[in-house]
Amino acid sequence: MNKLKREWNKKPNRMSARIEKERKPNKCPNCSASPVASILYGYVGMDSVLEQKIEEGRVSLGGCCEGMGGPVWECTHCGLKIYQKLIVKKLS
């Protein structure tokens, strides 16, 4: 199924709160679909390897610019954006 068809078939995102995880989840916390895609930002050169990763749902294109603190992962099934939780450690 190509990326455009997946966009039309996405389930509604039932979560309204910002979802933060320390690590990339194995499955979507909203719809339990897997895999969860890593969002790739910037101007990308499309090649067969990247195209295959997009088709498999392992990579999602996020646009040319990443805003500070933007989402890092996305469910390609329901569209849920997942942010990386920042861990702040106190220096001793």
With respect to residue 54, please indicate whether it lies within any of the assigned structural domains. yes
What is the tens place of the pLDDT at every residue in 43-80? 888 999 999 999 999 999 998 887 778 999 999 999 99
Count of Cβ atoms closer than 10 Å to residue 25 Cβ: 16
Distance in angstroms (rounded) separating the CA atoms of residues 39 and 82? 10
* pLDDT at 89 (0 to 100): 80
Domain that holds residue 36: 3-14+24-84
Which residue would you say has higher pLDDT here, 31 or 10?
A: 31
Q: What's the rounded mean pLDDT across residues 14-23?
A: 82
With respect to residue 36, please indicate whether it lies within any of the assigned structural domains. yes
With respect to residue 19, please indicate whether it lies within any of the assigned structural domains. no
Strand boundaries in the chain, DSSP class E: 19-21, 36-40, 59-61, 73-75, 81-84
For the chain, the domain total comes to 1
With respect to residue 90, please indicate whether it lies within any of the assigned structural domains. no
Specify the pTM: 0.74
What's the burial of 73, exposed, middle or buried (CB within 10 Å: 0-12/13-18/19+)? Answer: buried
